[in-house]
Structure 1
């Protein structure tokens, strides 16, 4: 069973604390009980009686008692028996007496622990404390030992002192119960950690204090201490910082650097700490020569290219370690899993130079006997094995092992950081190893029947069965029904990522949707659509893949006279029908080098796709999308994500035109998309229309269809602006209210800083972001001055009831409404929404 580092530390400390008294008793220390006279001389035992037992059976006593009926006993045998029974730890008192030839053993049992309660602890988790206590026998149901409890109390106090909490108070309470039981309560008052008020280095003459201590975990109080907690004193942190100080000077050639003294002073109230260290810098050493010796296996000149240390350079231990690691990694990639490189320095203190001899010890070339998977209770071995790049029966390769780990993490079936791969030697064989892959599975599917809410869609009712790892096969299956104020959707999807052993993907999508755009912050029209699609994916390299989609769909549009923007009405009338049929195809290329599916910290995701309706469709058009996202690890507490998205669409082939009859101003409009009743051939005037009240108008359907336009703004785009409200707007006939209609060009950019350690949970993350973007009618309409920008903070949490995303942002660049001299709005401004959240949707 794998234990956490905290649990191992506590268990070891507590076991050490109580080991001394246990050893003393078993070694023959005189117990406190007295032995009643059993006769002036030895006698032969005819029977044995045990008195005082309550919970422990007599058989247990006889098992440990080294005396049986018929044995001859004396004081020596009685003393040995007493030591054996005390060694069990079951009894507080033991007495031996003689009644005739009967040996009478009278015992007083130690009470059993009925309940063990720990309160007030925050710095050390309760489960870690409980497991640590259980490992050394102090748990519910076990025999209670007062001395062990006292030792544990002292050890816990020491542990909190090491964390800088010198005001800690550990108060154990033992309450007696009936039937020889006790309740044990350990009350912890941690108090506040002592704050570091001053750090002083004596002897640093070459470098500034801030440069030397830049990467220390300990520091004086500053404005970031509430998050970094660097001002809280800890003995372990200080030891690590002094080691960093030593490395700082060694990396800059100060071979004779030494820490001469370290003093830690605490104020009388145990709240303030003062740290002082005396150092001797010494002189700078240079490298006189570098030699590579031993069995290099590969051509010596190949390994010499990996040398980062050169003659006449200033000595650097970091470069020396990088060099040895590079050589070891190179040898491990060709099967030498246990290769070593031993740097042997020859120091010339008179000339302040170092000659370095890198001795290569390759060890045996290792073959992988078996790849073993552990922890995958749902995911089948086959699903994991097909992601492995280290194969059984082949030479060991560290690069293949590392690549296998990344591929397993990117599946999304396992918790972030839970994939561990170890190499275990095969007993009795020096040239074989087993590769052991340990994982901790996470939820990869769900069955949801419930409610969701977002500011855009309001309340959503849904029932969804989805499984990214269906029955442990790695196949993705989803069946869903969703309904809210603007949408009804029913869908089914299936994807087999390994339709063939070579990694060919095959999937299907079926869906039907009834959509009311008037409730979606977009132009007021509704649609009913359905589609059937087939998806094919082909891997090219470890990170690159191409995919193709082919499908048919049907989209029926319903416009509202006097409410739908006129350009949409004109487009429908130009086409001459409300129903759009399409044969649709899509080609895409993607490169994904991210190191994790759920919480990536490094790597890049790129995707380029071309989607088009095929000739013969009602509307012939294409859309191009490019997505880019890269994660940059700044340090262990910061990860930077830069993201960019560009989309463009247009029609191809000949434009569709149509001439219709249009009512004069003040007269009722013909119904949008009415078709033949208003066609010119049906009119009676000189232009083919009715006399007086109507005139002819030629409509042209060109460009990207309105129902395929791009939109921007909202929680998944430019935060701080209402969903889908950025970009071109248009009013309906006889209306001043301008509705967002989207555009054919979308450009979105974002810079986001994640704080992985701010919330120590693999299911949650906090970030600060800056978003920039907008939507434009077409390429000619693009103006950088029209880009919108916002900045803010966000919390994203994969809760058990569904994903939750909350963001608060302040617009940095927005557009206000324009009013005339009478105060009337002539041009609407941006619709702002600083607090945005979604519940029940993906993020």
Structure 2
């Protein structure tokens, strides 16, 4: 007898097990069914048992057997496999009841709820998208194998982020109606720290120089912020590419990375990186040639080549040259132009000849400009910002400019405007340009919410919308009240009143203002105004504006409580009501790349405001604003900001003789309904008394009106000093209390470093700043030594309730209290306030 090897016996057993079981099994769901016969039979009917959620029609769709079919053992096996492949069933059994084919199934449960806990490094939304791709999401059929794959994939992703102690614990809870709740608990653990990086073979450059631009670094005192000591496979791969570029940009054509080794400590908390490299020799450029179809004159293309014969080889300059040529061609319609630098390396004399091969591709026309993601903003509002037009040749410069203009609208999250160039199917000379945007809150409705240290609690109703009904128009309605202000206002702006971009707007307001609660001189005012303004763009970045308005300002002041200079100014006019006709001419240049959080660009504005002849007080105010954003690195943006304002009168000085001491008519309450009280013993017909010239005083009003003065100090100018307290201060007669009165000259500035990546939110940012500035009585009073300086940190957050601003500043240059020899206060110092914050209002 020939002995069959054990391997052959095993193969025969597996073959028998795979061909017969589905056909021969008895179904527990159908006790009356009999095991199917081994021979073929004709199916008179088909019965499906065990269905709960899935309809019988769905099963019949996948079942490859129909009534009237004559089936055998092999067809039944194929039917079972087909039903398993649907993923709907945990078990499938087939039996026969006479000529009726009975299919008994056990459905897999449905996922009722999928919960992720403990994940911080990877966002829940990103994880849920990944789980859905694998087939694990709410409403899907639960597959335990898919859950195992999810566990392995999450572990791999966290390992790639340097978290080797991660623990993924899935939990499945059974519910009624064949449902389950799936909970995936993530214990991320601590990221492995890079304790040592070692480069072997770097002879020309030291390791610190080579790794200066790496994202991976050994633990240092800044690692808490930069997180550069956390190991990541992706970061290491990018750093090795930077290592390669470092040497190729310095002429080392034969540079190579021979080996990389990553070692981990037994507790999986420390990483040790080692890379072996060969530097090679430095190569120079022996010649540069431009070939191919250059479209433009060859000399014009050669001007975009930045590598020259005799220079040290640099891949960075080659890439820069290629990009410059591609950009030039893409601006005249060649959207898919390519430049292939082909090096010819001569290792004998260590030179490289470069052939810049230009492949322009077809010239393409823009078929359509498409917008996606603008659920509120109408297409018309976005289309009028376009500089790339449909039906014209494609231009990369026009597309880039259109993207910047969309970002500067302020309707979208910072950095959320992305552009895709999609070829039109079936056409090699047409493309569609698709702008993908993500809208953000462009207004707010606030009721009874607001607080600042200056104003206290603010009760207000304010509807502000910078993108009213998606039209791009700005509308604001406000009614507010706090300890120093009642205000009712309406404003409207149509930025595209004409198709050419001329804007038209209106402002209307009425307010009662108590300055004594505003850190300024003690007087109050009631004023109303109506304004109309126009804006006209003159270039892509420049515009001019013109404003006409009329206002009425009624001032209430009290001698003995209000500084004398203010009361004298009012007395000089003989009226406490000031009527003004105003006009303002302005010029602005705005090249910033974003409205909400710019990272580059400049903003400048010059405005000249003048009250027209015939106004109660004739004066002018000139104001200049400057702000420039400098991108220092990917994580740092520097903002340099300055503002200068100056005002003065332009008409003749106003002079008036008034009765000074004592006044015959005394108005104690400033109430028009209450008549003044006559001073006892005085003659009302001759208030100052005959022969008493000392009681007469000549008062002259000149310069900028006090109610138009500039103020500084606080969260909007020089932080660390109380709002509006910088600059000249005066006391009322008989009072030692000094009150800020502002000045005709304002000079403030700031250096502020933003950290965009410190907070993972497009609505928040942290900064460190140095503020400086002050207010002076006039030009002659300016002295640079009197500038106040402060430094600190700030947090700005565009919260749903309105903007929140918190700053902590330390005054570096300030005026201290000055005391005399007897301990008497000679000069009061500045009012400082280190912690300042405010929230509420509209965006």
TM-score, normalized by length of structure 2? 0.93
Quick check: 2:134–2:150 contact (8 Å CA) kept in 1?
A: no
Where does residue 795 of structure 1 map in the other structure?
A: 795
Give 3-state SS (helix, strand or coil) of 1:747's partner. strand
Where does residue 20 of structure 1 map in the other structure?
A: none
Give 3-state SS (helix, strand or coil) of 2:299's partner. helix
Q: CA deviation at 1:414?
A: 1.3
**Cα gap change, 1:29 to 1:386, in 2 (>3 Å):** farther
Q: CA deviation at 1:821?
A: 2.7
Separation (CA, whole Å) in 2 of partners of 1:672 and 1:611: 35
Separation (CA, whole Å) in 1 of partners of 2:312 and 2:746: 53
Quick check: 2:20–2:73 contact (8 Å CA) kept in 1?
A: no
**Cα gap change, 1:831 to 1:33, in 2 (>3 Å):** farther
How is 1:8-19 mapped onto 2 (pairs within 5 angstroms)? none
Q: CA deviation at 1:73?
A: 1.8
Q: CA deviation at 1:559?
A: 0.3
Where does residue 219 of structure 2 map in the other structure?
A: 221
Separation (CA, whole Å) in 1 of partners of 2:19 and 2:538: 77
Separation (CA, whole Å) in 1 of partners of 2:786 and 2:315: 53
Give 3-state SS (helix, strand or coil) of 1:803's partner. strand
Separation (CA, whole Å) in 2 of partners of 1:30 and 1:563: 106
Quick check: 2:462–2:841 contact (8 Å CA) kept in 1?
A: no
**Cα gap change, 1:544 to 1:40, in 2 (>3 Å):** closer
Instruction: After superposing the two structures, state which structure 1 stretch, 536-545 or 64-73, moved more.
Output: 64-73
Q: CA deviation at 1:691?
A: 4.8
Separation (CA, whole Å) in 2 of partners of 1:518 and 1:648: 24
Separation (CA, whole Å) in 2 of partners of 1:621 and 1:230: 58
Per-residue deviation, residues 660-699 of structure 1 (Å, max 9, x unmatched): 222179x998989999x99xx99859xx755569522211
**Cα gap change, 1:329 to 1:577, in 2 (>3 Å):** same
Give 3-state SS (helix, strand or coil) of 2:833's partner. coil
Where does residue 603 of structure 1 map in the other structure?
A: 601
Instruction: After superposing the two structures, state which structure 1 stretch, 81-90 or 342-351, moved more.
Output: 81-90
Picking from 111, 117, 120, the partner of 2:118 is 120
Separation (CA, whole Å) in 2 of partners of 1:323 and 1:217: 27
Where does residue 830 of structure 1 map in the other structure?
A: 830
Separation (CA, whole Å) in 2 of partners of 1:365 and 1:590: 37
Where does residue 380 of structure 1 map in the other structure?
A: 378
**Cα gap change, 1:103 to 1:671, in 2 (>3 Å):** closer
Give 3-state SS (helix, strand or coil) of 2:448's partner. strand
Separation (CA, whole Å) in 2 of partners of 1:167 and 1:741: 64
Separation (CA, whole Å) in 1 of partners of 2:414 and 2:22: 57
Separation (CA, whole Å) in 2 of partners of 1:117 and 1:493: 47
Give 3-state SS (helix, strand or coil) of 2:695's partner. strand
**Cα gap change, 1:782 to 1:670, in 2 (>3 Å):** farther
Instruction: After superposing the two structures, state which structure 1 stretch, 131-140 or 593-602, moved more.
Output: 131-140
How is 1:740-755 mapped onto 2 (pairs within 5 angstroms)? 740-755=740-755
Where does residue 398 of structure 1 map in the other structure?
A: 396
The reply to whether residue 241 of structure 1 matches residue 260 of structure 2 is no
Q: CA deviation at 1:789?
A: 0.5
Where does residue 810 of structure 1 map in the other structure?
A: 810
Picking from 370, 381, 406, the partner of 2:368 is 370
Where does residue 768 of structure 1 map in the other structure?
A: 768
Where does residue 435 of structure 1 map in the other structure?
A: 433
The reply to whether residue 297 of structure 1 matches residue 295 of structure 2 is yes
Give 3-state SS (helix, strand or coil) of 1:351's partner. coil
Quick check: 2:407–2:593 contact (8 Å CA) kept in 1?
A: yes
Separation (CA, whole Å) in 1 of partners of 2:501 and 2:400: 20
Instruction: After superposing the two structures, state which structure 1 stretch, 497-506 or 701-710, moved more.
Output: 497-506
Quick check: 1:416–1:598 contact (8 Å CA) kept in 2?
A: yes
Quick check: 1:573–1:672 contact (8 Å CA) kept in 2?
A: no
The reply to whether residue 779 of structure 1 matches residue 779 of structure 2 is yes
Separation (CA, whole Å) in 2 of partners of 1:297 and 1:253: 31
**Cα gap change, 1:30 to 1:712, in 2 (>3 Å):** farther
Where does residue 345 of structure 2 map in the other structure?
A: 347
Where does residue 699 of structure 1 map in the other structure?
A: 699
Q: CA deviation at 1:93?
A: 2.1
**Cα gap change, 1:640 to 1:842, in 2 (>3 Å):** farther
The reply to whether residue 520 of structure 1 matches residue 518 of structure 2 is yes
Separation (CA, whole Å) in 1 of partners of 2:263 and 2:571: 85
Quick check: 2:366–2:390 contact (8 Å CA) kept in 1?
A: yes
Q: CA deviation at 1:568?
A: 0.6
Q: CA deviation at 1:824?
A: 2.7
Per-residue deviation, residues 415-438 of structure 1 (Å, max 9, x unmatched): 111112221122222222121122
Instruction: After superposing the two structures, state which structure 1 stretch, 820-829 or 792-801, moved more.
Output: 820-829
Give 3-state SS (helix, strand or coil) of 2:785's partner. helix
How is 1:253-402 mapped onto 2 (pairs within 5 angstroms)? 253-402=251-400
Where does residue 717 of structure 2 map in the other structure?
A: 717
**Cα gap change, 1:567 to 1:182, in 2 (>3 Å):** same
Give 3-state SS (helix, strand or coil) of 2:138's partner. coil
TM-score, normalized by length of structure 1? 0.93
Where does residue 658 of structure 1 map in the other structure?
A: 656
Give 3-state SS (helix, strand or coil) of 1:663's partner. coil
Per-residue deviation, residues 71-115 of structure 1 (Å, max 9, x unmatched): 222211121111111111122222222333332222222222232
Separation (CA, whole Å) in 1 of partners of 2:179 and 2:425: 48
**Cα gap change, 1:671 to 1:44, in 2 (>3 Å):** closer
Separation (CA, whole Å) in 2 of partners of 1:283 and 1:209: 18
Where does residue 639 of structure 2 map in the other structure?
A: 641
Quick check: 2:134–2:146 contact (8 Å CA) kept in 1?
A: no
Q: CA deviation at 1:364?
A: 1.6
Separation (CA, whole Å) in 1 of partners of 2:388 and 2:264: 54
- Structure 2: where are the runs of 5+ without partners? 1-16, 26-34
Instruction: After superposing the two structures, state which structure 1 stretch, 101-110 or 417-426, moved more.
Output: 101-110
Per-residue deviation, residues 23-68 of structure 1 (Å, max 9, x unmatched): xxxxx98899784252132222233233333333333322222222
Instruction: After superposing the two structures, state which structure 1 stretch, 370-379 or 286-295, moved more.
Output: 370-379
Separation (CA, whole Å) in 2 of partners of 1:536 and 1:63: 68
**Cα gap change, 1:135 to 1:620, in 2 (>3 Å):** same
Per-residue deviation, residues 438-469 of structure 1 (Å, max 9, x unmatched): 21111222222222110111111111122212
The reply to whether residue 68 of structure 1 matches residue 61 of structure 2 is no
Instruction: After superposing the two structures, state which structure 1 stretch, 517-526 or 474-483, moved more.
Output: 474-483
Quick check: 1:112–1:143 contact (8 Å CA) kept in 2?
A: yes
**Cα gap change, 1:425 to 1:277, in 2 (>3 Å):** same
- Structure 1: where are the runs of 5+ without partners? 1-27
Quick check: 1:569–1:672 contact (8 Å CA) kept in 2?
A: no
Instruction: After superposing the two structures, state which structure 1 stretch, 112-121 or 711-720, moved more.
Output: 112-121
Per-residue deviation, residues 733-785 of structure 1 (Å, max 9, x unmatched): 00011100111111001000001111111111111100000001111111111
Quick check: 1:662–1:669 contact (8 Å CA) kept in 2?
A: no
Separation (CA, whole Å) in 2 of partners of 1:333 and 1:193: 46
Separation (CA, whole Å) in 2 of partners of 1:217 and 1:34: 62
Give 3-state SS (helix, strand or coil) of 1:171's partner. strand
Give 3-state SS (helix, strand or coil) of 1:451's partner. coil
Separation (CA, whole Å) in 1 of partners of 2:684 and 2:45: 125
Instruction: After superposing the two structures, state which structure 1 stretch, 833-842 or 208-217, moved more.
Output: 833-842
**Cα gap change, 1:576 to 1:178, in 2 (>3 Å):** closer
Count of aligned positions: 810
Give 3-state SS (helix, strand or coil) of 2:216's partner. coil
Q: CA deviation at 1:658?
A: 1.2
Instruction: After superposing the two structures, state which structure 1 stretch, 758-767 or 442-451, moved more.
Output: 442-451
Per-residue deviation, residues 489-509 of structure 1 (Å, max 9, x unmatched): 111111111111111111111
Quick check: 1:475–1:497 contact (8 Å CA) kept in 2?
A: yes
Give 3-state SS (helix, strand or coil) of 1:792's partner. strand
Where does residue 148 of structure 1 map in the other structure?
A: 146
Quick check: 1:406–1:595 contact (8 Å CA) kept in 2?
A: yes
Quick check: 1:34–1:94 contact (8 Å CA) kept in 2?
A: no
Q: CA deviation at 1:311?
A: 0.5
Where does residue 466 of structure 2 map in the other structure?
A: 468
Per-residue deviation, residues 771-804 of structure 1 (Å, max 9, x unmatched): 0000011111111111101000101111101111
Q: CA deviation at 1:142?
A: 2.1
**Cα gap change, 1:117 to 1:337, in 2 (>3 Å):** same
Where does residue 450 of structure 1 map in the other structure?
A: 448
